[in-house]
Structure 1
Amino acid sequence: MKKSVLLTASMLALLCLSGCKLVKIESADGVAEDPLVKLVDESFAPKLVPALSEKAVDLAVLREALKAGIDTAGQSHGVRVGGAGGGWNFALKGQGVVVAENRATKAAIAEIDIDGDGAADATLQLGPVVKGTALRDATPLYDFSTFRDQIEYAKLGRALNDRAIAALPPADVALKGKVVRFLGAVVLRSAKEKPLVTPVSIEVVP
């Protein structure tokens, strides 16, 4: 009886382990074949980054445009998603000194000063936790109507953020005090809001 119980338990354990292993293999294969992952693979570097680079407004120019109001700046330089109630999404670039950085959090950030007054003019998200979907929404590359539902569209936003963060300087590369050049996207809902930028690149300027 004991032998039977032990044998049954052993078989169940083996099946469980085999099942878990199989799930992992299937998951890995699934990721490779996932249409969403394929879309990010095929569009991020070949299409999204060049599109952001082509239409990016310099942060200094955007700050000047915002003096006339968020809608005026948005109509000149941005894309609005979700109608009148949605924020304006901007492809954004700039250069400045990193005056502060916080890597001791999953939502790591770097504060950048572009005008030399010592105060932060924008916040660069360093991840791995990233807020917003500006990378998805700042260009017309990703049309909501081509997705199954809002959940899939939201997953795209997260996947793009993850891909962007993976290309940034790692946590052991200190940025504070350095001059950096960035390219990315931001969503703004008011003219007085400090930009929280999702960068696709941050380059330390020699």
Structure 2
Amino acid sequence: MPNKPTCSILAAPILVAMVGISLTACKILPTPSGENGGNAPAFNADKMVGDIWAAKVVPYLQQKAGSFPEVHALAKADPAAAGAKYGNPKKQANSPWTFAVRLEGKVVAANTQSRAATMDVDADGDGKADARVQIGPAMRGTALRDSLDFIQFNDFTNQIDFAQFGKAFNIHADKTVLSKLPREALEGRSVRIVGAYVMGSGQDLPLVTPAEAEIGPKP
């Protein structure tokens, strides 16, 4: 940052008379500044998520999550009741409900050729898929962010920061959890997921974004 003199500008008649004294009396001092030149620290969504992931995010989801079949049945019958129990009651009024869930079952189909890889899970034993689980590295939506009641839009400077923060959850989940999962011969394996999904139209499989994921051995 530029330096600035500590002396002030005097009235013109006095300045003429005192110019010599005035100049010799001035000292150049550095303008106080922080690490970013006096500005607020740069927004870093990835660091923010990393700082709260193990301490707050995962414990919250573990405590809040309900069994997927139970949550999904209640969500279809009474979304508000499901939201009050398994969702984020502090969500924005016009936003859909996002539910924290525990999903256990068997993989009945998998798509690992795409960067937006998924696996379809049968949670009730009827051999049909009940939910689709994102396993990355590319993932849609901001379900993990939106399921947390201690994170609000008004906590952020603008919508861009809030959106980046939502994407950072997906990036962190992929880096710390999903990238370590097997990708071959997934069908028939057992899975255990703790994560979140957004209530959709009812026509598509619920799309679950994991914060924790385990895949069992080949059958």
Q: Which residue of 1 aligns with 2:73?
A: 64
Percentage of matched positions with identical amino acids = 39
Work out whether residues 134 and 185 of structure 1, in 8 Å CA contact, stay in contact via their aligned partners in 2: yes
Query: Which residues of structure 1 form unaligned runs of 5+?
Result: 1-32
1:144 to 149, 153, 156: 153
Structure ranking higher in helix proportion: 1
Aligned to 2:10: none
Tell me if structure 2 keeps the 8 A contact 1:110–1:124: yes
* Aligned counterparts of 1:185 and 1:113: Cα–Cα separation in 2: 17
Distance (whole Å) between structure 2 residues aligned to residue 181 and residue 171 of structure 1: 14
- Confirm whether residue 54 of structure 1 aligns to residue 67 of structure 2: no
Task: Quote the residue 2:139 is aligned against.
Answer: 130
1:109 maps to which of 118, 131, 134: 118
Contact 1:134 1:198 in 2 (8 A): yes
Offset, 1:192: 5.7
Whether the aligned pair in 2 keeps the contact of 1:70 and 1:189 (CA below 8 Å) is no
What's the counterpart of residue 19 of structure 1?
A: none
Aligned to 1:79, what secondary structure does the other structure show? coil
Which of 154, 157, 160 is the aligned partner of 2:169? 160
Aligned residue identity for 1:105: S
Aligned partner of 1:82 among 81, 92, 96: 92
Q: Distance in 1 between the 2:45 and 2:75 partners?
A: 35
Q: Secondary structure at the match of 2:208?
A: strand
Matched residues in 2 for 1:203 and 1:90: separation? 20
Q: CA deviation at 1:133?
A: 0.6
| 1:46 Cα offset (Å) | 1.7
Aligned partners of 1:112 and 1:124 also within 8 Å: yes
Partner of 1:9: none
Match of 1:175 among 179, 183, 186: 186
Give the corresponding residue for 1:45: 54
Partners in 2 of 1:37 and 1:63 — Cα distance? 31
1:172-202 superposed Cα distances (whole Å, 9 cap, x missing partner)? 4542210111111111144565210000121
1:194 aligns with 2:205: yes
RMSD of Structure 2 on Structure 1 (CA): 2.0
The amino acid that maps onto 1:40 is: V
| Structure 2 portions without partners, runs of 5+ | 1-41
Deviation of 1:45 after TM superposition, in Å, equals: 1.7
Whether the 8 Å contact between 1:70 and 1:191 is mirrored in structure 2 is: no
Kept in 1: contact 2:74–2:81 (CA 8 A): yes
Deviation at 1:130, TM superposition (A): 0.8
- The two structures have a TM-score, normalised by structure 2, of 0.72
SS state of the match for residue 77, structure 2?
A: coil
Taking structure 1 as reference, are residues 158 and 67 closer, same or farther at Cα in structure 2, changes over 3 Å only?
closer
Q: Which of the pair has the greater relative contact order for Cα pairs under 8 Å at 6+ separation?
A: 1
Please identify, of 57-66 and 178-187, the stretch whose mean Cα deviation from structure 2 is larger. 57-66
Amino acid at match of 2:150: L
